[in-house]
Amino acid sequence: EDKVVQSPLSLVVHEGDTVTLNCSYEVTNFRSLLWYKQEKKAPTFLFMLTSSGIEKKSGRLSSILDKKELFSILNITATQTGDSAVYLCAVGDAGTALIFGKGTTLSVSS
């Protein structure tokens, strides 16, 4: 059965800290891995990764994929209270629906 596992499930840090969120997956026909940020309601898109070793960056956020070891990490540097959210990892396989992990809840205290 295809699955996506995220760790840790929750994390509490202080403003300015750097955090690393993990996502491992087992899917039959991998096509892409996506990261979403969910605050109050709708998940919003952060990154899509399809190739190993190529880092995607957006401001203080970055992500990389390792297709050999079947995992991805999401890094957030110099965290701010606005980074507090649930971060979701999802994998697209040859089927049509994204498979989501349960998410990592990040709390950033000031």
Q: How many CB atoms lie within 10 A of CB 21?
A: 22
Smallest Cα–Cα separation from 103: which of 46, 35, 40, 20? 35
Smallest Cα–Cα separation from 87: which of 15, 20, 13? 20
Question: Which residues from 6-35 bind other proteins, rule CB under 8 A?
Answer: 31-32, 34
Q: Does 98 bind other proteins (CB under 8 A)?
A: yes
Q: Does 3 bind other proteins (CB under 8 A)?
A: no
Question: Which residues from 51-70 bind other proteins, rule CB under 8 A?
Answer: none
User: Which residues on adjacent β-strands are paired with residue 37?
Assistant: 44, 87
Member of 45, 52, 66, 107 binding other proteins (CB under 8 A): 45
Q: How many CB atoms lie within 10 A of CB 105?
A: 15
Q: Does 41 bind other proteins (CB under 8 A)?
A: yes
Q: Which residues bind other proteins (CB under 8 A)?
A: 31-32, 34, 36, 41-45, 48, 88, 90, 92-93, 95-103
